[in-house]
Amino acid sequence: MLTQICCYGIDYLGVIFLPRTARTKSESGIYHIIMRGINRQILFEEEEDSVKFIQTIQKYREICEYKLYAYCLMGNHLHLLLMEGKDPLGTVMRRICSSYVIWYNKKYNRVGYLFQDRFKSEPIEDATYFLTVLRYIFQNPVKAGIVTRVEDHVWTNYSDYFEESSKTDIDFVLSLFHTDRKKAISSFLEFINQENNDQCLDVERRQITDAEAVKIIKKHCKVDHAIDLQKFDVNKRNQCLKDLKKVYGLSIRQIERLTGISRGVIQKI
């Protein structure tokens, strides 16, 4: 059981499964989960995609009866923080991911895998680390340089806590801060927005080859050649460069080499 706070009480479509060791089971039933796109493919290309995935996790929240504490959609990967309900974690993720992949493939007229490997997870067994993971998930877009404030990234459920939305199981989290609701929300906001050096389960980073980088540039920026970014207007070009750095993890030197855009321009974005 989760120390101090637990009184509250495969192979599936779109995911490549590789030889594996047994997943560490959480005694509390609470997990931090990461899913990522195959070959760093973007999972949420348009706003509709993010909306659909959030609707999907809400749908299966009702069906599988899990507790949802946090989510954050990050372009080519996502984070979840939840507690198992009547169905085990593997079943929950199989249902969520299979449903989304079927919809995504139909929309984009594609076939095959969307998610890379099986999902990654870590068990959460104590209150302190639970809150660390919660903050880590909500601050992920800030630390990635996508936004400057937690509230500016719309594809999380951060606002559910101060809007008191029923779409997130907020009672459990707020009870960790204070018995008085207003004070609990105030303490929650202060805690989540604190500067920190939190280290949690994360997406594995690897060096992206130039060939892979060119494919990413062509697909995300919708160009025939990487150097075509030079023809974009400044605002469109800068947004593409920001996404290539922050969402896809391309290095400044690599972007410079492949697009012909100067390092100084890229560094300023």
At 172, the amino acid letter reads: F
Burial of 6 (0-12, 13-18, 19+ CB in 10 A): middle
Two tokens at 168? Answer: 């997130």
Beta bridge partners of residue 120, listed in sequence order: 34
Burial of 215 (0-12, 13-18, 19+ CB in 10 A): middle
Query: Does the pLDDT at position 29 exceed 80?
Result: yes
> Does 38 share its domain with 129?
yes
> Does 186 share its domain with 214?
no
> Does 163 share its domain with 238?
no
Q: pLDDT: is 250 or 139 the higher one?
A: 139
> Does 166 share its domain with 36?
yes
Q: Is residue 202 part of a domain?
A: no
Which segments of the chain are extended strands (E)?
Answer: 30-36, 67-73, 77-83, 120-123
Q: pLDDT: is 5 or 69 the higher one?
A: 69
> Does 96 share its domain with 138?
yes
Q: How confident is the model at residue 269 (pLDDT cuts 50, 70, 90)?
A: confident
Residue whose C-alpha is closest to residue 75's, from 18, 145, 134: 145
Beta bridge partners of residue 78, listed in sequence order: 35, 73
Q: Is residue 226 part of a domain?
A: yes
At 143, the amino acid letter reads: K
Instruction: List, for residues 202-243, the tens digit of each pLDDT value.
Output: 755 556 788 888 999 999 999 999 999 999 999 999 999 988
Instruction: List, for residues 75-93, the tens digit of each pLDDT value.
Output: 889 999 999 999 999 999 9
Q: Which of 192, 222, 253 is the last residue of a domain?
A: 192
Q: What span, in angstroms and rounded, lies between the C-alpha atoms of 195 and 191?
A: 9
Which CATH number belongs to the domain containing residue 64 in this structure? 3.30.70.1290
Residue whose C-alpha is closest to residue 75's, from 10, 129, 22, 154: 154
Query: Does the pLDDT at position 14 exceed 70?
Result: no
pLDDT of res. 2: 59
> Does 144 share its domain with 50?
yes
3-class DSSP state for residue 78? strand
Which residue carries 């169905």 as its tokens?
87
| Enclosing domain of residue 49 | 30-192
Q: What span, in angstroms and rounded, lies between the C-alpha atoms of 188 and 195?
A: 14
Number of Cβ within 10 Å of residue 134's Cβ equals: 24
DSSP state of 207: P
> Does 88 share its domain with 188?
yes
At 199, the amino acid letter reads: Q
> Does 116 share its domain with 188?
yes
Q: How confident is the model at residue 5 (pLDDT cuts 50, 70, 90)?
A: very low
The mean predicted confidence, pLDDT, of the chain is 87
Q: Is residue 23 part of a domain?
A: no
Instruction: List, for residues 186-196, the tens digit of each pLDDT value.
Output: 999 999 999 88
pLDDT of res. 67: 98
Q: pLDDT: is 11 or 108 the higher one?
A: 108
Q: Is residue 18 part of a domain?
A: no
> Does 81 share its domain with 168?
yes
Query: Does the pLDDT at position 17 exceed 60?
Result: no
Two tokens at 181? Answer: 């609701």
Q: Is residue 150 part of a domain?
A: yes
Query: Does the pLDDT at position 3 exceed 70?
Result: no
Domain count along the chain: 2
pLDDT of res. 206: 53
> Does 142 share its domain with 52?
yes
Q: Is residue 147 part of a domain?
A: yes
- CB distance 134 to 69 below 8 Å: yes
> Does 78 share its domain with 188?
yes
> Does 105 share its domain with 187?
yes
Q: Is residue 71 part of a domain?
A: yes
Residue whose C-alpha is closest to residue 153's, from 72, 62, 89, 269: 72
pLDDT of res. 4: 46
Query: Does the pLDDT at position 252 exceed 90?
Result: no
Instruction: List, for residues 120-178, the tens digit of each pLDDT value.
Output: 899 999 999 999 999 999 999 988 888 889 999 999 999 999 999 999 999 999 999 99
Q: Is residue 246 part of a domain?
A: yes
Q: What span, in angstroms and rounded, lies between the C-alpha atoms of 183 and 174?
A: 9
